[in-house]
Amino acid sequence: MSRRFAVLAALTVVCAGVELVAGRGMSPAVVWDVLGGGGDTTERHILFQLRLPRLLVALGAGACLGVAGLVLQSALRNPLAGPEVTGVTPGAVLGAVAATGLGLAGWESPLAVVVAACVGGCAGAALLWLLAGRGRSDPAQTAVHGVLVSAVLGGLTAMVLLVAPGELGSVVQWLVGTTEGRVWQHWHLLWPWALAWGAAAWLLAGPLTLLRCGDDIALAAGLSAARARALALLCAVALTAGAVAAVGALGFVGLLVPHLALAVFGADLRVTLPGAALVGAAVVCGADAAAQLSSRLLADALDSGRLTLPVGALTACLGAALLLLVVRRAPSRTF
Amino acid sequence: MRFAGGWQLPVLVALLVAASACALSLGTPYVPLHRLPGALMDADSTLAGIVVTELRVPRLVLAVVAGACLGAAGLVLQEALRNPLAVPEMLGVSSGAALGVAAPLVLSVSLPAAVQPLLAIGGAGLGGGLTLLAAGLGRSPSAVLLTGAAVAAALQAALLVLMVMADQLDLQLIYRYLLGSLSARTWDDVTGLWPWLLVAVPALVLCAPVLSVLRLGDEDAEALGVRAQRARLAALAIAVVLIAPVTAVCGPVAWVGFLAPHLARWFNPAADAVRWLPWSAAWGAVVVAVADVPARLALAPVETPVGAWTALVGVPAGVALLRSGSRRPAARRRAAGTVAAGSVPQGAQAVPAGPSEKEEPSTGARECVRRAAPGSDGPSGVSASRGEATGAEEVR
């Protein structure tokens, strides 16, 4: 197990390294030089004020989303319950956009954005809870209802954006999820939140492992299933909201990462939860590096400087492919 | 509920008349109802006449035609896939069409207006075909829907990449287009739709009886001499031809194809696909025409896209209708289940499938037996009324 952790950690470090050198404007040799203490002011600024915080934010957001997805899937016993398909992410986006659009929060008061995203995420999850009703136990039904909830929340977001059209340009990047232009402020906001709720999630790892076995077994083992589930859901919503407030709605990371983590580390969440954080960080970081590299290549090929590929688009495509796989791999079940 | 079918026509006509009256008379300039005929008569001489004939009438006509197309297409998809949630939005059809239209706009490739519907059709066919290919045609409804959600998400991601690349002006345009808007549409847009309708309507009429046969299930349909897979593909093609031109003109007006068939079914639960088809088209027209009034007037100087309104109202209302509709077949099956549990699976396949009725026949029978247990209906009723309550909140 520790060897797997070591391999994954190495992979994350490699991804982080690629991410540091992937951007435009500096060759790898210059990056190495700057890290060694050389380079002129511009290069130092690019590396330490732009690329490093971006890297850290990508790592932190990926870890948050990975843990949130795993907690959700375990608490609801539903392999399709990512934050995206349970209404949490669209709700968080709606909350943040509404708070920004109505002037209650802005980039100057980032904590308000996080709180608004959190409230919105809770509202989205509650809406799904009400809508799914008795069909909650059927994973595919819940997922389908989640898509419906997302549609309603998306409509509301659109209305808010139309009331405050000036925000559209900055918000669109955020609807798809991007790590572009993230600076130290975002990181300072993200890490205490992520650390606190991540620790809470890790404390819940034991109960969650029991919950995965089913309510009957959990009750027999002396666990108050309803309370543990409520706490776990709160944890997942808070983690998702933090990540959404930092980088926007990164598509399908919360759905993709838990499957990878479970495949690598097995079903014991005390091990898998940190593993999911590591996998999430590696995936988002790697996707960001790939997005930067490919947008660089595309810009060279198409000869247009303004082309940038947001990382959210890449993760959405990956996640869509994975969703297809999950749906196809279980032909005998009802979904 | 028995006389609901009789109420359908008056309700429909009243809503349509009210919506058209509002659409034609309200706004700036305000044209009182009794002056409308006069304004229509001398169209070119007065300002009111020009506004009414050149702006408001084509907009109303477009809303009605687009709504009818979307409503009919929604019913065709739902019946062909035997799935009450199979709507263009969930199958990647709408996103594909939108991508086909938005891509040349952003990449600033200038195209003649006649090519636009073709691009939209290409995109819609791509999205829908991809979904059905990936899911497999005969798979269970939820599998098709989740696959559709995945395909739609991928197409959406492509769209968002385009939006990130666009500059501020293009962005506003695309965003409004993507939400579905009827603002500033003229007679040219309306006349552009006719050729496609000429193709689609006869095909729809020919296809409707086959749809009723498809509802019996694939095996029964094959036994009756219908090639189920081919018929399903044809139905999908018709739906694409209906949806794509509308999307090309006024964007993906969301969830009309979800709401309209459910309204038609709710008013007339005992009929079959042939009967539902015109009603579904009519309800689609009414929904879009009604939704266009607040879209135009709610935030008066600013126009809100009609698609946002239909999404906000359509989804909760449709889910509520779905719930109340699926309670009735359950009750019917409970009555049947106590008599002969063995004969139930066929019945379960034949009734319009609610969300909880997609199991394989064996589980269907088990489900039925479980529901036949006394007292098991309580939670369903409670949750359904809760769903309606949230729906009402959304409407407010």
- Residue-range domain boundaries for chain B: 4-303, 328-395
CB environment A76-92: b (16+ within 10 A), e (fewer)? bbbbbbbbbbbbbbbbb
Residue A335 forms part of a structural domain = no
pTM for the predicted model, two decimal places: 0.74
State yes or no: pLDDT of B210 exceeds 80: yes
pLDDT digits (tens, 9 = 90+) for A196-222: 999 999 999 988 888 888 888 888 888
Q: Which residues of chain A have pLDDT under 70?
A: 105-110, 133-140, 164-170, 173, 303-307, 327-335
Interface predicted TM-score (ipTM) of this complex, two decimals = 0.73
Contact A89, A247 (CB under 8 A): no
Q: Is residue A334 part of a domain?
A: no
Provide the pLDDT for residue A277: 93
Which class for A285: exposed (0-12), middle (13-18), buried (19 or more C-beta within 10 A)? buried
Q: Is the C-alpha dihedral spanning B118, B121, B123, B129 positive or negative?
A: negative
Instruction: Please count the other Cβ atoms lying within 10 Å of the Cβ belonging to residue B158.
Output: 17
CATH number at residue A153: 1.10.3470.10
Angle, helix B57-80 to helix B187-214, in steps of 10 degrees: 20
Minimal Cβ distance to B164: which of A131, A143, A310: A310
d(CA A136, CA A187): 36
Q: Would you say residue A6 lies in a domain? A: yes
Residue A60: predicted pLDDT = 92
Radius of gyration of chain B from Cα atoms?
22
Question: What CATH number should be reported for the domain whose range is B4-303?
Answer: 1.10.3470.10
pLDDT tens track for A160-197: 877 766 666 667 767 777 787 778 888 888 888 899 99
Q: How many separate domains does chain A show?
A: 1
pLDDT of residue B68: 92
B281 vs B83 pLDDT, higher one: B281
Q: Do A316 and B156 touch (CB under 8 A)?
A: yes
Rounded CA separation A176/A248 (Å): 7
User: What is the end-to-end Cα distance of chain B in Å, rounded?
Assistant: 25
Q: Identify whether A92 is part of a domain.
A: yes
- Residue B141 has a pLDDT of 62
Could you tell me the pLDDT band of residue B387, with boundaries at 50, 70 and 90? Answer: very low
* A169/B171 CB distance under 8 A: yes
B178-203 mean pLDDT: 82
Closest CA of chain B from A317, distance in Å? 5
- The CB density around residue A190, as the number of other CB atoms within 10 Å, is 26
Phi, psi of A258 (to 5 degrees): -60, -35
**Mean model confidence pLDDT for chain B:** 73
In this complex, the residue of B147, B299, B383 whose CB is nearest that of residue A327 is B147
Separation CA A104–CA A167 (nearest Å): 14
A224-246 tens-digit pLDDT: 888 888 888 888 888 988 888 88
Instruction: Report d(CA B380, CA B385) in Å as an integer.
Output: 9
Two tokens at B158? 């492509």
What distance in Å separates the CA atoms of residue B88 and residue B255, rounded to the nearest whole number? 8
Chain A, 296 to 335: residues with Cβ < 8 Å from chain B are 306-310, 312-314, 316-317, 319-321, 323-324, 327-328, 331, 334-335
Look up the domain containing A208 and give its range.
Answer: 2-329
Question: What integer pLDDT is reported at residue B93 of this predicted model?
Answer: 83
> In 3D, which of B381, B90, B108, B75 has the Cα closest to residue B235?
B75
pLDDT in tens, B46-59: 777 788 888 888 88
pLDDT tier, B4 (very low <50, low <70, confident <90, very high otherwise): low
- Is the predicted pLDDT of residue B375 greater than 60, yes or no? no
B231-253 residue pLDDT tens? 877 888 888 888 888 888 888 88
> DSSP letters of B93-128?
HHHHHHHHHHHHHHTT----TTHHHHHHHHHHHHHH
DSSP A64-109: HHHHHHHHHHHHHT-TT--SGGGTHHHHHHHHHHHHHHTTS--TT-
